Structure 1
């Protein structure tokens, strides 16, 4: 089930792959654990970033406790759906979170988890192709990519 929520929130984060806890607490729109989707762009480079990595890309995000792995702390993990040619650790990442896909589940097998991740990616990509969502790829919050600043 896809819950459509117009522009849940925008976050600017310095991170590697996981969102800092303080960013998660700052938005009431992110109070529900589960899988979210939207658009992301890398900002403020401290390392060389290949030209093809400077765009706005769709993402899915897991927000919660990842019960399959037995986590006790709430975390957010952003998966940008782009094959990066460069390392982006240490860069600021801006995300515009647009919608909620589903709650998080505890899986019996790793394969079941992977299957749902692939489904989440397909649903997010299909949703983000819609004109309503495509407009957010140009959201001013995402701004120009690295190298244009």
Structure 2
């Protein structure tokens, strides 16, 4: 995927409410317009990268881009799990993303427990990838300082 790294921004909108409640993994969703602007070569699946809210600190993130087949979504979505504990909701605030790399294709799961296990593995793999010199530098990209 030669479109990576890919930088995008958008306001955080309410998703389906499954991330925090059902999966124990809160996510920040972006509007459909942002998803529709993603490059065609950015296939559906799980990615890793960096994220900031309202030009704040830059944190590691794992992202899902696609249809979430376990939930039979009707629209393609992009949601980021920012690997940081936030004390408040940030709906309506601007999120900046730098999508650095691809972890795995989008897939369906036999159970909620299998989905949760995959999410935990994705988070672990994202952290590991972002700790490498190849991707650490993107945390300090000028994009996050604008």
TM-score, with length taken from structure 2: 0.83
| Number of aligned residues | 132
Q: Which runs of 4+ in 1 moved over 4 A?
A: none
The aligned runs of 1:70-149 (5 Å cut-off) are 70-143=72-145
- Superposed CA deviations along residues 37-83 of structure 1, whole A, max 9, x for unmatched, are 10001116xxxxxxxxx311010111111111111211111110100
Q: CA RMSD in A?
A: 1.8
Gaps of 5+ in 1: 45-53, 145-149
Q: Distance in 2 between matches of 1:137 and 1:120?
A: 19
Who is 1:147 aligned against? none
State the structure with more CA Rg: 1
Q: Distance in 2 between matches of 1:92 and 1:30?
A: 25
Aligned-pair CA distance for 1:113: 0.3
Q: Distance in 1 between matches of 2:3 and 2:131?
A: 15
Gaps of 5+ in 2: 14-27
Higher relative contact order (CA 8 A, sep 6+): 1
SS in 1 for 2:126: helix
- Superposed CA deviations along residues 81-117 of structure 1, whole A, max 9, x for unmatched, are 1000232221100000001111111101000000000
